[in-house]
Structures are given as C-alpha cells and as structure tokens.
C-alpha cells in the first residue's frame, strides 16, 4: 500500500533529533527557560523565512485570527478570501465577527484571481487573505496592486506553503504570514501548531502581547488570547526546520516525476510564473476523479479529495446569501481535483508506479 502520507516513515528520519530535543525541554528548570526555548525556535523560523519576526502559536487557525485582530479587522468589516480553501480560512474571518467575501480562483493555479478581487471590492472591504493553496504561491503581483489601490491589508494564509517563493521572496513576507504546522503540513508537528511572521516591529509587539497574556495593562483585554505554542511542540518543529529545504526539494522532485510520467491528457495544478510551489499536495484535475480514486485504491494507492464543497455552498455560510453558479471555477474544481501521494518518504519508483496505474485505468 502507498499511503497518502505515512507519519511514522516521515518522522522516523527525525526521531533521534526529536527525542533529544524533547529530553532537553523536559530538563529545563523554569517557565522562563521554556519561553526562551520557544523564542529561539521563533528566531530560527524568522531567519529561515527571511522575516524580521515570527511568533509561534497553537494552530494555523489561531494564527489567522490573531493576524486579523492585530490588523484591526472588526465586526462588519469584509475580508476577501478564495471560495476554494479549507474552511479554517473563512472561520478565522467569521470568528472575529467580520464577513467573509468569497472570490473565485484561477483555473490553472487554483489560487485567488486578482481580477475578480478588483471588481468585488466594496467600501466595507478591509483585507485580503491570499491562500497559497496546496503550497502554490498566489499571483502576488496582482494582489499587491489591488491591495495598494484600495488600501487593503494582506494576511497570507501560508498554511500549506512554508518555504514557497514568489519573485524570489518567501511567502509570509507580502503581508502578515500565517502558517499551520499541523501534522498534515510540510513543516509538521504532532497535532496542532502554527506560526505568524511579520516585518513590522509595531505589529510584532502587539501580537506578542495578544498571545502571551501577561499582566500588560496597555492592551485592550478583549484582544488577548493565551495561545502560544507549547515547548514540546516547538522542540519537534525545531528538530525538523533545518531539513525543511530538503523536504521541499524531495517533494518538488516527486512533482517533476509526476509531470514527466503522467499521461498528457491529465491536467495538474500549475505554478504561477516566477514562483516556487512546495507541493503540500500534488493535485490533478480530472472529470473521472471518483472512478480513478477507487481504481488507485484497489491498486494499493491512497489518494485524497481535499475540498469537495465550495465554501460559499456550505451550510454554515448560507447566511451570506451566495448561490450555486456564483463562483464557477471553484465549483468545477471542487468536483474534479484529486490529490496524489507526494510525501518526501516516497521514492521515484513509487511515483512511477502510481503513474502507470493511472495510465492503465484510462486504457
Ligand atoms: C488553507 C488552510 N488554512 C488554515 C488552516 C488551519 O490550520 P490549523 O489546522 O493548524 O488550525 C488549514 C489547515 O489545514 C488550511 O489547510
């Protein structure tokens, strides 16, 4: 069986380093030392990401919520985001009382379409959340242009995209960066955790106060949520971070093998020009996805369908009044995308086997 992602195999490579780090944390003698340990991990991630500051929190969803609050987003503001993403992106917006403004995606890259943002900005729109979906950086040139014109904040959902680049710049530096380090991601802890990046000292200081909740009298209490990462989780991520670029290279090589060996009629998610996709998922687009997924399963290959329901058609967001047909690319893509295994623990041979099965399924 080729699993979608074999956690044991992926973690095995780091197991000694992780165990050593956990032991080091267990032996720390004070909460001050735990805080320092986390601070060191934050500095390492900031350095990796070429960002001035990083703050580690308990999940990617929290990272987004904190970033929205720190940006001053409040009740009845509108925040633009793609209709094709994980529900957490939208939940972060509605959880702070703002209104999610869904926007359609581009058919080739599956990322938010800046042209469609442009025609949907209203005087209530205060921010855009570009989601670097499946690890693929958005068209940041187009997004920055609209954001500048309408004075909108940018909060990047880089949950899938640690290490991804657009125009030689790492994602998470185009606005406030929000990363998930959940087990399923490229930089993965065990269970939930996340990171926020910023290059703005003032924002960094606000966010630090919001997440640490010490007795700081100078910040409105309603803005504070104790949600720092715990030191054990930080120690797992700290063990893996020095190898993140190797993980990305392995995944990009696996993607190249897919592109080379898949039959030409199979479409796949394309990269934006001048960008570096980090392939949290390798996504193919096919009319016959259910049939293909079943066939692959019978042949020992586990696949994933990530986003079956476009967010504007979920029951939870009915109150926004969207209807079928509003975001046609997203609706079509949600019926056709299938994620193939691309873990860094897979070999070129595994990928070739999967491609050979896709070819025989079509014969
Ligand atoms: C695009 C996207 N945004 C946000 C999140 C939320 O991250 P977390 O699960 O760490 O809260 C996820 C999680 O899968 C995600 O896929």
Same domain, 238 and 252: no
Identify the bridge partners of residue 9 per DSSP, sorted by sequence position.
none
Same domain, 195 and 232: yes
Same domain, 250 and 175: no
Strand boundaries in 10-152, DSSP class E: 53-57, 78-82, 99-103, 125-128
Same domain, 268 and 235: no
Interstrand relation of 153-157 and 125-128 (parallel, antiparallel or unpaired): parallel
- Residue ID of nearest Cα to ligand 1 atom 16: 86
> Residue 31: helix, strand or coil by DSSP?
helix
If one counts the domains in the chain, the total is 2
Give the Cα separation of 216 and 322 in Å (integer).
Answer: 42
Report the pLDDT value the prediction gives residue 361, as an integer from 0 to 100. Answer: 86
Residues with Cβ within 8 Å of 155's Cβ and at least 6 positions away in sequence, in order, are 64, 67, 68, 71, 79, 127, 128, 129, 175, 176, 178
- pLDDT tens per residue across span 159-201: 999 999 999 999 999 999 999 999 999 999 999 999 999 999 9
Ligand 1: which of 5, 180, 339 to mutate, most ligand atoms within 8 Å of CB? 180
Whole-number Å distance, alpha carbon 89 to ligand 1 midpoint, is 7
Give the Cα separation of 286 and 136 in Å (integer).
Answer: 19
> Is-contact 355 261, C-beta < 8 A?
yes
Strand boundaries in 78-193, DSSP class E: 78-82, 99-103, 125-128, 153-157, 165-166, 169-170, 176-180
Segment (H or E) for 284: strand 282-285
Q: Is 111 in the pocket of ligand 1 (CB under 6 A)?
A: no
Same domain, 136 and 265: no
* Residue owning tokens 């049939």: 291
Interstrand relation of 165-166 and 153-157 (parallel, antiparallel or unpaired): unpaired
Closest CA to 135 of 267, 39, 276: 276
User: Domain boundary at 220, 242, 264, which?
Assistant: 242
- DSSP label at residue 337: E
Residue 334 clears pLDDT 80, i.e. is over it: yes
Report the pLDDT value the prediction gives residue 220, as an integer from 0 to 100. Answer: 74
- pLDDT tens per residue across span 244-266: 999 999 999 999 999 999 999 89
Q: Give the distance between the most distant pair of CA atoms in the chain.
A: 69
Q: Is 88 in the pocket of ligand 1 (CB under 6 A)?
A: yes
Quote the distance between the C-alpha of residue 61 and its chain's center. Answer: 10
- pLDDT tens per residue across span 276-328: 999 999 999 999 999 999 999 999 999 999 999 999 999 999 999 999 999 99
- pLDDT tens per residue across span 205-242: 999 999 987 776 677 777 788 999 999 999 999 999 99
Residue 363 clears pLDDT 70, i.e. is over it: no
> Is-contact 49 173, C-beta < 8 A?
yes
The answer to whether position 342 is within a domain reads yes
- Residue ID of nearest Cα to ligand 1 atom 8: 60
**Residue 354 belongs to domain with CATH number:** 3.90.1150.10
The answer to whether position 237 is within a domain reads yes
- Print the domain residue range for 63: 7-103+110-242
Q: Is 159 in the pocket of ligand 1 (CB under 6 A)?
A: yes
Same domain, 248 and 232: no
> Is-contact 68 196, C-beta < 8 A?
no
Query: Residue 130 — very low, low, confident or very high, per pLDDT cuts 50/70/90?
Result: very high
């Amino acid at each position: 069986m080729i699993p979608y992602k074999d956690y044991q195999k992926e973690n095995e490579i780091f197991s000694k380093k992780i165990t050593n780090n956990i032991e080091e944390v267990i032996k720390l003698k004070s909460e001050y030392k735990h805080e320092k340990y986390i601070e060191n991990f934050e500095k390492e991630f900031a350095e990796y990401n070429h960002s001035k500051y990083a703050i580690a929190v308990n999940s990617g969803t929290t990272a987004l919520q904190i970033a929205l609050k720190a940006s001053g987003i409040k009740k009845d503001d509108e925040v633009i985001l793609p209709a094709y993403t994980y529900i957490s992106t939208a939940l972060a917006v509605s959880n702070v009382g703002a209104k999610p403004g869904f926007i359609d995606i581009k058919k080739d890259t599956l990322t938010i379409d800046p042209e469609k943002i442009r025609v949907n900005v209203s005087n209530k729109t205060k921010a855009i959340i570009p989601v670097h979906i499946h690890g693929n950086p958005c068209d940041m040139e187009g997004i920055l242009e609209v954001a500048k014109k309408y004075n909108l904040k940018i909060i990047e959902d880089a949950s899938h995209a640690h290490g991804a680049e657009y125009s030689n710049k790492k994602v998470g530096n185009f606005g406030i960066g929000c990363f998930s380090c959940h087990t399923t991601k490229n930089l993965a802890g065990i269970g939930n955790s996340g990171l926020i990046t910023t290059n703005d000292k003032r924002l960094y200081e606000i966010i630090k106060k919001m997440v640490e909740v010490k007795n700081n009298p100078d910040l409105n209490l309603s803005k504070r949520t104790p949600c720092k990462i715990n030191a054990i989780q930080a120690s797992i991520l700290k063990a893996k971070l020095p190898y993140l670029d190797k993980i990305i290279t392995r995944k990009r090589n696996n993607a190249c093998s897919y592109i080379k060996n898949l039959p030409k009629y199979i479409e796949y998610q394309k990269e934006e020009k001048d960008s570096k996709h980090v392939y949290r998922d390798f996504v193919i687009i096919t009319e016959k996805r259910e049939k293909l997924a079943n066939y692959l399963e019978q042949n020992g290959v586990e696949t994933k369908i990530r986003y079956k329901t476009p967010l504007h058609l979920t029951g939870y967001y009915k109150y926004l009044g969207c209807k079928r047909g509003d975001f046609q690319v997203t609706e079509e893509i949600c019926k056709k995308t299938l994620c193939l295994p691309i873990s860094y623990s897979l070999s070129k041979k595994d990928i070739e086997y999967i491609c050979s099965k896709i070819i025989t399924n079509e014969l």
